[in-house]
């Protein structure tokens, strides 16, 4: 009975995996075709593998400079999100006051607001406060948009850290910040890694916010660069597909290295040990 | 080393619950004081106030004549061993022990020397590179002790440090801590709910109940001269047996009980005036002899031979139970009727009425 269930589950997973991987497969496949070949047979295997799309894309996309633009935005944003959320989540978890409960509620409720409903006002405000058209400005807005989920996760995880550890550290000579720095933060590593992975994938691949915030071509991120392949009258699909593969590789590599922390982080925070 | 003085200490939580009432304790330099009592008696709260982990609502706390109420735990020069060890899981044993010294910016060579010394004392030199999760319960407790002793603090605080260990290891560690006290000659305050730990380790014991101190005394004084029924019942294993009796003439009687108090006891009981008395007898103060002068009729219900002694659970005529000890050479059977002799001079007598004072502290004072 159990083995039958297992086979069914495995088959179901195989089908779901195929559905998820199919678009990736078509992107990868067509990135090696010529434009005419792609238009003739979208699903067929390429008659001849060509790397021309990749070579042209790297040049047209200004891959190196935009890679670094994306890297700067991602590193600044993720560092900010992890740092501020860890501090806030830990403090909220450790403070038994009405204010902390209200703040926690505000942070978690803000997750329910769709980005599209605030994007116009956000663009206007960012213009007024002078953070538009800069990588650091985009990073600040990313931090603002990313802390809510991160605080939610950090708060839950912080509750699983035994209070005695902090008390022992206080007796050992730590002030409140040192307790956080030397005891809490190392123990929050699994959830910090989880938050970092989720946010790296989001920020690295984000199109809409950079599109709204960055107008100067020299500041463009990779995804924004790929978007330029789609003009009003002409779309360079094969270059765009090669660009997508080139953009995805760093994010996929990052995910593969750190994915074990996602499971560890979320599972550890779920149950109070 | 240091003296510790708690003066009129009270602890009231924000929800209005008062955990500790007017606590006064003077702990001498190098003394090993045990705070003992049942769950919720305020012993851990008192210790945590001493550590600075809990705010003192009112009263004064002095360490070495310096008022430390508002001083941060790190500046009180104390070390604490927690019930669940509270070892930093991401650090090795060495780093756990060195952490307090590092935080105090102690030079590296001195840190190494002191960690090595502490590790030698506790026989944990081979564990220094391990993480806490790779240690057994006993080893973790040793590391927790090591982390405390490495700093040479003025006062050691222990919060039920042996509660998570199995019975056999607890006995070993008990002796280990006592040896440590002898070796370090430092002031130690130790919280436990286990009266055996209290009796075997402490120079003095503070017995607490419902936030009130019931008695502060040496182990033997507590055993021989309890202030009230609670202390008498709490100290000693198996605990003291209590039975209501009535003073009629020169005798104390009850169903199946006939006791002739000594002249000194009788004088005190008569002077006290109350006829309703609770008589207390320890399990070891009952004897099985021919024609005892003071006796209690009972039926044996359970026989527990322990090798060195026999524990008997008996039922009295009054339908109440008693636990008594006997010589291992004597033979007993279940349902056997016995006339137990009582060593009357060792018995205690308490007021049967709860005397409740103004603060709500309840007690059955010991008459004699």
Contact B104 A173 (CB under 8 A): yes
The answer on B205 and B90 residing in a single domain is yes
Mean pLDDT of chain B: 89
Arithmetic mean of pLDDT, A142-152: 95
Contact A168 B78 (CB under 8 A): no
CB nearest to A171's CB, from B80, B88, B90: B80
In a domain? residue B341: yes
A47 strand-pairing partners: none
Q: Degrees (nearest 5) of the Cα angle A32, A33, A36?
A: 160
| Domains: count for chain B | 2
d(CA A209, CA A216): 14
The answer on B308 and B207 residing in a single domain is no
The answer on B194 and B250 residing in a single domain is no
In a domain? residue B234: no
Chain A residues touching B86 at Cβ < 8 A: 162, 164-165, 167-168
d(CA B279, CA B147): 47
The answer on B147 and B256 residing in a single domain is no
Residue of B nearest to A165 (CA): B86
The answer on B161 and B103 residing in a single domain is yes
In a domain? residue B183: yes
Q: Which of B200, B229, B258 is the last residue of a domain?
A: B229
3-state helix, strand and coil shares in percent for chain A, rounded to the nearest 5? 80, 0, 20
In a domain? residue B368: no
Find residues 143-162 of chain A whose CB sits inside 8 Å of chain B: 162
In percent, the amount of chain A with pLDDT more than 70 equals: 95
The answer on B272 and B188 residing in a single domain is no
In a domain? residue B235: no
- The predicted pLDDT at position A149 comes to 94
Please write the tens of the pLDDT for every residue from A216-243.
888 999 999 888 888 767 778 888 889 9
Arithmetic mean of pLDDT, A60-64: 88
Which domain, by its residues, includes B303?
240-363
In a domain? residue B59: yes
Select from B84, B128, B78, B127 the least CA-distant residue to B100: B78
Select from B236, B251, B247, B257 the least CA-distant residue to B319: B257
The dihedral sign for the CA sequence B96, B101, B106, B110: negative
Please write the tens of the pLDDT for every residue from B172-181.
888 989 988 9
Query: What burial class does residue A126 get, using C-beta atoms within 10 Å of its C-beta: 0-12 exposed, 13-18 middle, 19+ buried?
Result: buried
Among B44, B45, B89, B92, the residue to mutate for chain A (most A Cβ within 10 A)? B89
Name the residue with higher pLDDT: A74 or B259.
Answer: A74
The answer on B192 and B340 residing in a single domain is no
- The predicted pLDDT at position A265 comes to 54
The answer on B172 and B46 residing in a single domain is yes
Q: Which of B210, B229, B248 is the last residue of a domain?
A: B229
Q: Which of B198, B229, B260 is the last residue of a domain?
A: B229
The answer on B172 and B47 residing in a single domain is yes
pLDDT range class, residue A10, cuts 50, 70, 90: very high
Please tell me whether residue B197 adopts helix, strand or coil conformation: helix
Please write the tens of the pLDDT for every residue from A250-260.
988 888 888 77
Select from A58, A27, A55, A29 the least CA-distant residue to A222: A58
- The predicted pLDDT at position B355 comes to 62
Domains and CATH numbers, chain A: 64-221+250-270 (1.10.3720.10)
Cβ-Cβ contacts under 8 Å for A234 (sequence gap 6 or more): none
Buried b or exposed e, range B85-110, using 16+ CB within 10 angstroms: bbbbebbbbbebbbbbbebeebeeee
The answer, yes or no, to whether residue A61 has pLDDT greater than 90, is no
The answer on B186 and B116 residing in a single domain is yes
The answer on B163 and B274 residing in a single domain is no
CATH of the domain at B16: 3.40.50.300
Please write the tens of the pLDDT for every residue from A124-142.
999 999 888 899 999 999 9
Interface of B to A at Cβ within 8 Å reads 51-53, 72-74, 78-80, 82-84, 86, 88-90, 99-100, 103-104, 147
In a domain? residue B178: yes
A182 touches chain B (CB under 8 A): yes
Please write the tens of the pLDDT for every residue from B6-31.
999 999 999 999 999 999 999 999 99
CATH of the domain at B244: 2.40.50.140
At residue A96, what are phi and psi to the nearest 5 degrees?
-100, 60
In a domain? residue B309: yes
The answer on B179 and B222 residing in a single domain is yes
Q: Name the strand (E) or helix (H) holding A152.
A: helix A135-158
Mean pLDDT is lowest, of A162-166, A260-264, B255-259, B311-315, for: A260-264
CA distances from A27 to A30, A34, A45, A178, B179 (A): 5, 13, 12, 49, 73
The answer, yes or no, to whether residue A271 has pLDDT greater than 50, is no
CB nearest to B73's CB, from A170, A183, A187: A170
Please write the tens of the pLDDT for every residue from B120-157.
888 899 999 999 989 988 899 889 999 999 988 999 99
């Amino acid at each position: 009975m159990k083995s039958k269930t297992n086979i069914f589950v495995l088959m179901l997973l195989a089908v779901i995996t195929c559905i998820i991987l199919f678009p990736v497969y078509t992107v990868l496949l067509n990135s090696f075709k010529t434009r005419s070949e792609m238009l003739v047979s979208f699903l067929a295997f390429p008659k001849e593998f060509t790397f021309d799309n990749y070579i042209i894309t790297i040049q047209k996309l200004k891959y190196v400079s935009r890679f670094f633009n994306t890297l700067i935005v991602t590193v600044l944003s993720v560092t900010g999100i992890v740092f501020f959320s860890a501090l806030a989540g830990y403090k909220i978890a450790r403070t038994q006051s009405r204010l902390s409960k209200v703040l926690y509620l505000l942070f978690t409720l803000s997750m329910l607001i769709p980005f599209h409903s605030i994007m116009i006002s956000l663009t206007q405000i960012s213009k007024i406060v002078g953070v538009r058209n800069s990588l650091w400005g985009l990073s600040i807005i990313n931090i603002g948009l990313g802390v809510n989920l991160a605080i939610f996760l950090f708060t839950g995880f912080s509750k699983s850290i035994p209070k005695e550890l902090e008390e022992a550290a206080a007796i050992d000579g730590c002030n409140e910040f040192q307790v956080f720095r030397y005891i809490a933060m190392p123990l929050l590593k699994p959830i910090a890694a989880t938050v970092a992975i989720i946010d790296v994938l989001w920020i690295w691949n984000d199109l809409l916010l950079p599109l709204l915030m960055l107008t100067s071509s020299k500041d463009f991120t990779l995804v924004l660069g790929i978007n330029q392949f789609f003009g009003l009258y002409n779309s360079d699909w094969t270059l765009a597909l090669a660009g997508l593969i080139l953009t995805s590789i760093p994010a996929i590599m990052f995910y593969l290295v750190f994915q074990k922390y996602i499971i560890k982080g979320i599972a550890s925070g779920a149950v109070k040990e | 080393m240091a003296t510790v003085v708690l003066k009129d200490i009270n602890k009231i939580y924000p929800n209005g619950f008062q955990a500790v009432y007017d606590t006064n304790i003077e702990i001498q330099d190098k003394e090993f004081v045990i705070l003992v009592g049942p769950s919720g008696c305020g012993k851990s709260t008192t210790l945590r106030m001493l550590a600075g982990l809990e705010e003192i609502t009112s009263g004064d706390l002095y360490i070495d004549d310096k008022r430390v109420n508002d001083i941060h735990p790190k500046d009180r020069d104390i070390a604490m061993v927690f019930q669940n060890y509270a070892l930093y899981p991401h650090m090795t044993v060495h780093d756990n022990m060195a952490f307090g010294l590092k935080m105090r910016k102690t030079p590296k060579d001195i840190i190494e020397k002191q960690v090595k010394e502490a590790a030698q004392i506790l026989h944990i030199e081979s564990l220094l590179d391990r993480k806490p999760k790779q240690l057994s319960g006993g080893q973790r407790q040793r590391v927790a002790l090591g982390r405390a002793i490495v700093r040479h603090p003025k006062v050691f605080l222990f919060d039920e440090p042996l509660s998570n260990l199995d019975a056999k290891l607890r006995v070993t560690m008990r002796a280990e801590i006592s040896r440590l006290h002898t070796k370090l000659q430092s002031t130690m305050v130790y919280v436990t709910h286990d009266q055996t730990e209290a009796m075997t380790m402490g120079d003095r014991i503070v017995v607490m109940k419902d936030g009130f101190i019931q008695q502060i005394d040496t182990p033997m004084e507590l055993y021989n001269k309890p202030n009230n029924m609670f202390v008498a019942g709490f100290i000693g294993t198996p605990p003291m047996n209590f039975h209501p009796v009535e003073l009629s003439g020169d005798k104390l009687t009850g169903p199946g009980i006939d006791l002739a108090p000594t002249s000194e006891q009788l004088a005190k009981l008569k002077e006290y005036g109350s006829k309703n008395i609770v008589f207390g007898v320890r399990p070891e103060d009952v004897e099985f002899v021919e024609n005892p002068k003071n006796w209690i009729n009972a039926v044996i219900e359970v026989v527990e031979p322990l090798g060195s002694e026999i524990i008997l659970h008996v039922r009295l005529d009054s339908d109440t139970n008693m636990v008594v000890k006997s010589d291992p050479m004597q033979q007993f059977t279940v349902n056997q009727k016995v006339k137990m002799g009582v060593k009357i001079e060792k018995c205690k007598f308490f007021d049967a009425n709860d005397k409740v004072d103004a603060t709500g502290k309840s007690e059955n004072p010991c008459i004699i």
